[in-house]
Structure 1
Amino acid sequence: MTHARDALPSSAAPAASPGDAAFARVLELVARRRAEFEEKRHVPRDVIAAFKEAGLYRAATPRRFGGEPLPPGRFLRLIERISAVDASAGWVASFGSSLGYLAALPPDTQAELYADGPDVVFAAGLFPLQPAEPVTGGYRIAGRWKFASGCLGADVLGVGITVGQDRAGRPLTALLRPEQVEIAENWQVIGMRGTGSHDLVVDGAVVPEEWTFVRGGPPTVDEPLYRYPTVPYAAQVLAAVGLGVARAALDQVISEGGRASYTGGPVAADRPSYRISVGRSEAQLRSVHAFFHDITEEVWQAVERGDPATDRQTGLLRLAAAHAAKTSFEVVRDAYQLAGIRAIADDSPMQRYLRDASVVPQHAFLQETMYDGAGAVLLDARPFPGFL
């Protein structure tokens, strides 16, 4: 049988590196324990430790603080491969990229953050934004925030506050240690059950001003990764989860094409309708995958040269991410229908692929409004606030 993680398009396989053995162990560990993630509704800390060992949580730590920052295209392919095994694990691992946000912190704060090593797990529940009370040297914070994916395994947590917006209207994010935050375990959903995207509750904690930053604000670290557009990258790592799930689902129906029908009819691979649908889905997935990675490499090459990403490039990154999320779900939905009655069984991976893939395009970064924003940029019109 063909396994999804081995059947990705060749361009999805990362180049060899010293971390390959550790990454292979991650894939094996995730495959062995994915049912546990769904049951517990989070990825346990010992699995997060394996992610750290494989370099996933130093992939966006500045080199000056001991990190091993990866080019975005490389990191995205790693997330695809994990997600082909388990979407929730891929989603949680994808937040290794979120340390790019923290490059906007003052350098001394970053030095303190990474004092014990570069493998820092950051999770955040940024919305709904809550007002914070200015106090001497910082802010007193209280409130409740939603969708803090991976929070049970985090070393540092972020919440969104409305004090101190920058001129673009972007809010501050305040960083807290886990002991300052109550995690309200209320993640009851149909898909991505293992992400542990619970609520965060804070009751009067004081956060120094130097431990706050504008999400997507100017970095204080001058390294190529932090010149890559931060918010579009955050959307891309989530869209990569959908690409991985779609690859796994399509490989599943391809591998099952030779099975006999329960009714005694022709095997699936002998039916033109089955073959046409598989061929169409393969073309869809490879096409969107190519667009996704082509614009990633274009922008990365620009920022590596020292050129800022243009508005057009930023718009295309957001378009590619939203389109990948939407198309991935369509591919999974078609694969689920092709799989027939077998797909509804609890022990079928297909029903899990469908549930997980349905969540990805629901994320605010990946909804259909992104087509509007990208279209506005391409037409030299003004996109909606926050798109660029």
Structure 2
Amino acid sequence: MAETSAARAAHHRAVAAEIREKTENILPEIAARAGETEALRRVPDANIAALRQAGWFTAFLPARYGGQELDILSFYELLPMIGQVCPSTAWATMLLGIHTQGAAMFSEKAQDELWADAPDTLLSSSLAPVGKVTPVEGGLRISGRYRFSTGCDHARWAIIGSAHADPATGKIEARMNLVPATDYAIDDASWHVTGMSGSGSKDLVLEDVFVPEHRSELTQALNSYAARGHQVNRDPLYRCAFGPFFAYGLSAASIGIAEGVIAAYTAHQGKRISAFTGGTVAESAPAYMRLAEAAQEVDCAKLMLRRDMSDLMAAAETEHVLDYAATTRMRCNATYVTELCTRAVDRLFRASGGMALQRDNHLQRAFRDMHGAAAHAFSDYDVARQIYGRLLLGLPPAGNLA
């Protein structure tokens, strides 16, 4: 781990440059497999192997297991490269990558189980606390169907969300729990969808699974430097609150989708001839006005991501625990980034003509995938702006909003 801020920054630049160079080399093959990715309903093994070689899955791995400890902003500014050519692959890469940061906040014993003998271990997740949880001696027993576990076919472990009443106090405890793939079943039939179909976000089925205490952490602890892993992994990366960290990953993938649509629209309109006028569509004012507005929306989205992730990293550097107001603003901003990207994609797709509907046209796949990204619970702008709006007006949090 780098010992000073200057040394860390130099390390981050070097790692990011290497990932960028390697990713640029594999983008053509990832793009060529976009149709296959959608047909498989998961990311192809060849994509995962190529991305692993490029360094994506060790970016957030602790250095003591051979990881790079890359900063969050570099990761999120690199991710759109993948999203431009294959949104499903970017979505899975993002989630499989950032779960490493969350898992690094668990106990040292849990981390050793994950990575001591297999530093290439990946984790998927299903964070909504929907299952049955029973506190027992030494841990918890969990049963239930946990949905939308992106990339689970490539993961050896999953992070499972839970909530139960503490036996001593009666207060509800929200927790995150590490569960090995040997303890759950993947329901392959659960993922037949229109958007993000190549992400492989299938259901995990747990039946009376025992989670020992060392594999469970309070969700709040992951956001306040109180998790056991904070004492083991001291790089500021692991002091970035998991909530905003996670939410902005979805936003970074959305930026890539929108940038890909801008590029595809520009190329498409440049050679499109109106069947009625015989003129080049690109010379039509609405065509380039729509493009200008979409480009501005995506620029604004990127600037918002950069500001908030810079603030998150600055807080981590100084071990400052972000308060409710700061995390609420970041959560709402993350959803607004996705909202801006969705607006940009919709605006351009509507102006792309009937040929954009062809199954081999990138625009139609990106349009569907953008709406798949926007449908994620963490991307719900209606919920987020209610929470943020109440905060701005000095109203107490509403209990029915999460």
The 5 A counterparts of 1:105-254 are 105-163=106-164, 169-185=172-188, 186-217=190-221, 218-220=226-228, 221=230, 222-254=234-266
Q: Report the AA paired with residue 292 of structure 1.
A: L
Q: Deviations over 1:60-115 (max 9, x none)?
A: 22234332122111111122111111111011001111222223321222123210
Q: Which moved more, 1:270-279 or 1:205-214?
A: 205-214
The 5 A counterparts of 1:262-277 are 262-277=275-290
Which residue is equivalent to 1:39? 39
Q: Report the AA paired with residue 171 of structure 1.
A: A
Structure-2 change in CA distance of 1:229 and 1:121 (3 Å): same
Q: Secondary structure at the match of 1:203?
A: strand
Q: Report the AA paired with residue 236 of structure 2.
A: P
Quick check: 2:76–2:252 contact (8 Å CA) kept in 1? Answer: yes
Quick check: 1:150–1:196 contact (8 Å CA) kept in 2? Answer: yes
- How far off its partner does 1:308 sit? 2.9
Q: Which moved more, 1:213-222 or 1:31-40?
A: 213-222
- How far off its partner does 1:316 sit? 2.7
Rounded to whole Å, the distance in 1 between the matches of 2:332 and 2:178 is 30
Rounded to whole Å, the distance in 2 between the matches of 1:364 and 1:168 is 25
Q: Which moved more, 1:258-267 or 1:284-293?
A: 258-267
Q: Which moved more, 1:154-163 or 1:325-334?
A: 154-163
Rounded to whole Å, the distance in 1 between the matches of 2:383 and 2:27 is 34
4+ runs deviating over 6 angstroms: none
Can you give the 5+ residue segments of structure 1 that lack an aligned partner in the other structure?
1-12
Quick check: 2:15–2:68 contact (8 Å CA) kept in 1? Answer: no
Which residue is equivalent to 1:256? 268
Rounded to whole Å, the distance in 1 between the matches of 2:157 and 2:311 is 32
Q: Which moved more, 1:275-284 or 1:210-219?
A: 210-219
- How far off its partner does 1:345 sit? 1.2
Q: Deviations over 1:163-220 (max 9, x none)?
A: 4669984522332221221100110111000111111112233222211223352332
Which residue is equivalent to 1:342? 355
- How far off its partner does 1:386 sit? 10
Q: Report the AA paired with residue 105 of structure 1.
A: F
Rounded to whole Å, the distance in 2 between the matches of 1:201 and 1:160 is 13
Quick check: 1:101–1:216 contact (8 Å CA) kept in 2? Answer: no
TM-score calculated relative to the size of structure 1:
0.89
- How far off its partner does 1:20 sit? 3.7
Q: Secondary structure at the match of 2:24?
A: helix
Rounded to whole Å, the distance in 2 between the matches of 1:174 and 1:381 is 33
Q: Which moved more, 1:125-134 or 1:292-301?
A: 125-134
Q: Which moved more, 1:114-123 or 1:243-252?
A: 114-123
Q: Deviations over 1:136-176 (max 9, x none)?
A: 42333322111111111102123233346699845223322
Rounded to whole Å, the distance in 1 between the matches of 2:399 and 2:294 is 34
Rounded to whole Å, the distance in 1 between the matches of 2:19 and 2:75 is 13
TM-score calculated relative to the size of structure 2:
0.86
Which residue is equivalent to 2:10? none
Rounded to whole Å, the distance in 1 between the matches of 2:147 and 2:29 is 29
- How far off its partner does 1:45 sit? 3.3
Q: Give the alignment partner of residue 301 of structure 2, picking from 284, 288, 291.
A: 288
Q: Deviations over 1:327-379 (max 9, x none)?
A: 11111111111111111111111111110001122111111211122233344
Quick check: 1:319–1:371 contact (8 Å CA) kept in 2? Answer: yes
Structure-2 change in CA distance of 1:293 and 1:371 (3 Å): same
Rounded to whole Å, the distance in 2 between the matches of 1:321 and 1:298 is 13
Rounded to whole Å, the distance in 2 between the matches of 1:366 and 1:170 is 24
Q: Secondary structure at the match of 2:59?
A: coil
Quick check: 1:22–1:54 contact (8 Å CA) kept in 2? Answer: yes
Q: Report the AA paired with residue 353 of structure 1.
A: A
- How far off its partner does 1:299 sit? 2.6
Q: Secondary structure at the match of 1:308?
A: coil
Q: Secondary structure at the match of 2:210?
A: strand
Can you give the 5+ residue segments of structure 2 that lack an aligned partner in the other structure?
1-12
The answer on 1:370 being equivalent to 2:371 is no
Rounded to whole Å, the distance in 2 between the matches of 1:15 and 1:256 is 35
Q: Report the AA paired with residue 302 of structure 1.
A: A
Quick check: 1:101–1:215 contact (8 Å CA) kept in 2? Answer: no
Q: Which moved more, 1:325-334 or 1:139-148?
A: 139-148
Structure-2 change in CA distance of 1:37 and 1:377 (3 Å): same
Give the number of aligned pairs: 376
Q: Secondary structure at the match of 1:199?
A: strand
Q: Deviations over 1:248-272 (max 9, x none)?
A: 1112222223322233432112211
Q: Report the AA paired with residue 198 of structure 2.
A: G
Q: Secondary structure at the match of 2:274?
A: coil
- How far off its partner does 1:122 sit? 0.8
Q: Which moved more, 1:199-208 or 1:337-346?
A: 199-208
Rounded to whole Å, the distance in 1 between the matches of 2:288 and 2:277 is 19
Q: Report the AA paired with residue 99 of structure 1.
A: T
Quick check: 1:311–1:377 contact (8 Å CA) kept in 2? Answer: no
Structure-2 change in CA distance of 1:214 and 1:100 (3 Å): farther
Rounded to whole Å, the distance in 2 between the matches of 1:318 and 1:140 is 31
The 5 A counterparts of 1:275-354 are 275-354=288-367
Q: Give the alignment partner of residue 372 of structure 2, picking from 339, 359, 366.
A: 359
